[in-house]
Amino acid sequence: MQLGLLKRLNAARASRQAAVVVSDLASGEVRLILEGEPVAGPLGDEVGKVFRSGKAVTVEVEGKNLFLNVHLPPPRIVVIGAVHISQALARMAPVAGYELTIIDPRTAFATEERFEGVELIADWPEDVLKDRPLDAYTALAAVTHDPKIDDFPLSEALRSGCFYVGALGSRKTHAKRVERLKALGRSEAEIARISAPIGLDIGAASPAEIALATLAQIVQAFRRRDIVSAR
Amino acid sequence: MTSTATLDPLTTAQAWKQAGRDVAIATVVETWGSAPRPTGSHLVIDSDGNFEGSVSGGCVEGAVITEALDVIGSGAPRMLEFGVADETAWQVGLSCGGRIKVYVERLG
């Protein structure tokens, strides 16, 4: 491996961009592939597989013995709304290996007491996301029910290609939301990516059950995402 | 920079190389059975034998470092294979029984 390649790899990792390092184990040749770069042929298929699985593998491609090492940013969840569901989700997410941040400008909800040990930001999403942009390895769940708070981060999540975008609310609530997001410039295809009502359909009723259904849906979205062909 | 970032072997490798040190990167490329570190794990070594990261639970690092010094000298990558099984564990039937393959290359 050359220093130049290592520098590019480390820069990608620092900016939360996924990368695969392909090493030819016979010749010592090394190649860096960043997520979204087109890779033709059977190598492209193998690269797509490791981006999805996150597991490094040795494969034989066109007679060459190649080692594919994958560097994925750690997945994280951003929750808009410091509500009852978020309290449960904040406890479950770390168990499943997800970092979690809660954003809610309503200081009555966003209290240290209700969210002990959780990263909680009591500010408007417009202001918070400026310094902490969303990305493809972030799941966004908007659960305030309040368009003033939810709409902007939902639009941002779609624009930045979050691997999961979920919004709490009935089908009727969501129909109105769809119109507002269109007014914010989001396309029908983008808006169709929103999971609403939020969570897998397991008949969840209590806040904790809705949190569980949401976390399961986030895991499903992460493990089944189609990065290489989608963009 | 957080303390975890400074412990990152690939970041360390870059910093060492940029400081003019000779560096080798060792990578777990294959595992069989229950290996202590997954494929893709890195150990980086400089020509003085300083190292950062791991390819096992500390069982084979010594041997990898010795081989890495040769790789730094020659520039030719090398493939190493280790059985992780521990003798005592075998006797009581608790061996992790793993084996690992480690690829060592020089950072050019």
* pLDDT tens per residue, range A135-177: 989 999 999 999 999 999 999 999 999 999 999 988 999 999 9
Residue A231 has pLDDT above 90, yes or no: no
Chain A residue numbers touching B18 (CB-CB < 8 A): 3
Report pLDDT for A53: 84
Report pLDDT for B90: 43
A15 plus A38 within the same structural domain: yes
Report whether A59 contacts A46 (CB < 8 A): yes
A64 plus A82 within the same structural domain: no
Chain A residue numbers touching B105 (CB-CB < 8 A): 1, 23, 28, 30
Q: Dmax over Cα atoms in chain A, in whole Å?
A: 63
Helix (H) or strand (E) holding A101: strand A99-103
In the block, residue with structure tokens 């040749």: A29
A172 plus A95 within the same structural domain: yes
- Closest chain A C-alpha to B77 CA, distance in angstroms: 6
Report pLDDT for A230: 38
A88 plus A195 within the same structural domain: yes
Decide: helix, strand or coil at residue A77. Answer: strand
A87 plus A193 within the same structural domain: yes
What is the CATH classification number for the domain harbouring A191? 3.40.50.720
Q: Which of B11, B14, B77 sits opposite A28 (nearest CB)?
A: B77
Distance CA A111, CA A82 (A): 8
The torsion region of residue A10 among left (phi > 0), alpha (psi -120 to 50) and beta comes to alpha
A46 plus A140 within the same structural domain: no
Out of A37-46, A138-147, A158-167, A217-226, pick the least confident: A217-226
Rounded to the nearest 10°, the torsion over CA B55, B96, A57, B50 is: 0
Q: Give me chain A's average pLDDT, please.
A: 93
Per DSSP, B97 falls in state B
Residue A45 has pLDDT above 70, yes or no: yes
Consecutive 10-residue averages of pLDDT for chain B (108 residues): 62 97 96 85 96 86 93 95 60 55 96
**% residues pLDDT > 70 (chain A):** 97
A81 plus A58 within the same structural domain: no
Q: What is the ipTM of this complex?
A: 0.82
* pLDDT tens per residue, range A80-102: 999 999 999 999 999 888 999 99
Interface test mutation site (partner B, options A9, A58, A67, max chain B beta carbons within 10 A): A67
Segments forming the whole domain that contains residue A82: 76-228
Report pLDDT for B94: 34
- Number of structural domains chain B divides into: 1
Q: Which of A10, A28, A57 sits opposite B10 (nearest CB)?
A: A10
The torsion region of residue A5 among left (phi > 0), alpha (psi -120 to 50) and beta comes to alpha
Please report, for residues A35, A79, A91, A92, B66, the alpha-carbon distance to residue A110 in angstroms, rounded to integers and kept in the order given: 36, 12, 16, 18, 54
A67 plus A80 within the same structural domain: no
Report the helix count and the strand count for chain A, using DSSP H and E: 9, 10
Instruction: Identify the closest residue of chain A to B16 by CA–CA distance.
Output: A3
Instruction: Identify the closest residue of chain B to A50 by CA–CA distance.
Output: B40
Chain B residue numbers touching A7 (CB-CB < 8 A): 14
A42 plus A104 within the same structural domain: no
Rounded to the nearest 10°, the torsion over CA A92, A98, A99, A103 is: -60
A52 plus A98 within the same structural domain: no
- Number of structural domains chain A divides into: 2
* pLDDT tens per residue, range A47-70: 999 998 888 999 999 999 999 999
A182 plus A213 within the same structural domain: yes
Picking from A30, A45, A71, the residue at the C-terminal end of a domain is A71
A24 plus A114 within the same structural domain: no
Segments forming the whole domain that contains residue B84: 3-106
